[in-house]
């Protein structure tokens, strides 16, 4: 059996055409004539095109599968499962088993999956739908965005999925690199911890590019979102990478202003300040003077120290991913573990960091 447990197909496939904006918050408008599409081997594939797969499988046309990876086969399984009512099948040989056989022929047997392809299809979120899928084949849900060349100050797009019975809004938020408050505000009336099977979940994927210089790291506290502007190489288009973050709670706000990254530490130890130890002690939670690396360390696996004050402000991971997108820290900037790991590799000591507080509203989310 093919190891088709990745959720990459629905994060790659292009998301539901619903337009809504933050502030009021939702102005919803479904696009007509929507097309369900999967990205298989870098190409958008609709259910009407499933006959191409059927033909290649039945004729053993190997050129169709040239260069396919494990992920391509996993995406093809999701495509085949979702389009079971389309195309033609080889009598007695449904397309998914044929895909498994083709995978094994080209790449060798895959490790035993933890669930069947049918269970996989039921366990992941439904395919994302977007009207422009065939006219915008390169568009995909990602933290990386090309900076608009038309002068627009908005990146990304809004989308929608349907939830599975085991999903929570924080689960979905992390899957799509959204913060807790972002996804909760976008889905009023949806139970945070039990959205339920088949509930339509809106994903607020549009973000205003922060004003000012586009270099290094910019954190907009009002948006609870970090932007990194990598320096483009010659002939490269400028890009921006954006991640949700947690910020300082009331009374321990994250400072504003310009600074730089002064140090990078992998698997850091945490030295809780006296005020934090006192606060915990009042709750009956006695903290040690030093918390080493591991699951109890709120800094996570990666930390980047900022040049503010005495160096006590940091960008770091977390051992509580549900807190990302909220004002819960003691002034530092928290990130999902996978996001801080990615950023840690991209930035160096001396990278400029600018912290701003620019409110997000409907006007600055229009293109």
**Residues belonging to the active site:** 316, 332
Q: Tell me the chain's radius of gyration from C-alpha atoms.
A: 23
Residue 268's nearest CA partner among 302, 236, 314, 238 is 302
Report which DSSP code applies to 96. H
Query: Where are the strands (E) in 147-276, listed by range?
Result: 154-155, 159-162, 200-203, 207-208, 216-220, 225-229, 239-244, 247-248, 257-266
Rounded CA-CA distance 116/5 in Å is 9
Residue 272's nearest CA partner among 285, 261, 253, 259 is 285
> How many other CB atoms are found less than 10 A from the CB of residue 80?
28
Rounded CA-CA distance 249/231 in Å is 32
203-220 burial string, b = 16+ CB within 10 Å, else e?
A: bbbbbbbbeeeeebbbbb
Rounded CA-CA distance 78/106 in Å is 19
The CA distances from residue 107 to 54, 103, 152, 164, in Å, are: 20, 6, 44, 31
> What do you get for the CA distance between the two ends of the chain, in Å?
45
Helices (H), 187-268: none
């Amino acid at each position: 059996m093919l190891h088709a447990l990745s959720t990459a197909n629905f994060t790659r496939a292009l998301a539901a055409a619903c337009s809504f904006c933050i502030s009021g918050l939702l102005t919803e408008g479904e696009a007509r004539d929507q097309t369900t599409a999967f990205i298989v081997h870098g190409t958008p594939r609709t259910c009407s095109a499933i006959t191409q797969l059927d033909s290649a499988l039945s004729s053993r046309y190997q050129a169709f599968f040239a260069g396919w990876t494990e992920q391509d086969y996993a995406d093809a399984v999701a495509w085949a499962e979702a389009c079971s009512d389309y195309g033609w099948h080889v009598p007695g040989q449904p397309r998914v088993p044929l895909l498994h056989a083709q995978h094994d022929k080209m790449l060798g047997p895959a490790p035993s999956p933890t669930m069947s392809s049918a269970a996989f299809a039921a366990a992941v979120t439904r395919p994302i739908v977007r009207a422009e899928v065939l006219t915008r084949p390169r568009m995909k849900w990602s933290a990386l965005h090309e900076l608009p060349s038309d002068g627009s100050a908005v990146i990304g797009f809004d989308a929608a999925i349907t939830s599975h019975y085991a999903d929570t809004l924080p689960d979905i938020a992390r899957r799509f690199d959204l913060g807790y408050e972002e996804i909760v505000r976008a889905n009023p009336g949806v139970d945070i911890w039990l959205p339920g099977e088949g509930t339509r979940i809106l994903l607020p994927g549009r973000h205003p590019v922060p004003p000012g210089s586009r270099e290094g790291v910019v954190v907009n506290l009002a948006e609870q979102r970090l932007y990194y502007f990598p320096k483009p190489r010659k002939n490269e288009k400028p890009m921006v990478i954006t991640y949700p973050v947690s910020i300082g709670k009331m009374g321990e706000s994250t400072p504003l202003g310009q600074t730089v990254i002064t140090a990078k530490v992998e698997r850091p130890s945490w030295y809780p300040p006296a005020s934090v130890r006192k606060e915990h002690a009042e709750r009956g939670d006695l903290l040690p003077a030093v918390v080493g690396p591991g699951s109890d360390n709120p800094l996570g696996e990666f930390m980047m120290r900022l040049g503010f004050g005495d160096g006590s402000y940091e960008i770091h991971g977390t051992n509580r991913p549900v807190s990302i997108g909220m004002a819960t820290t003691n002034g530092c900037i928290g990130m999902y573990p996978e996001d801080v790991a990615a950023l840690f590799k991209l930035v160096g000591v001396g990278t400029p960091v600018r912290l701003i507080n620019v409110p997000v509203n409907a006007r600055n989310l229009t293109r």
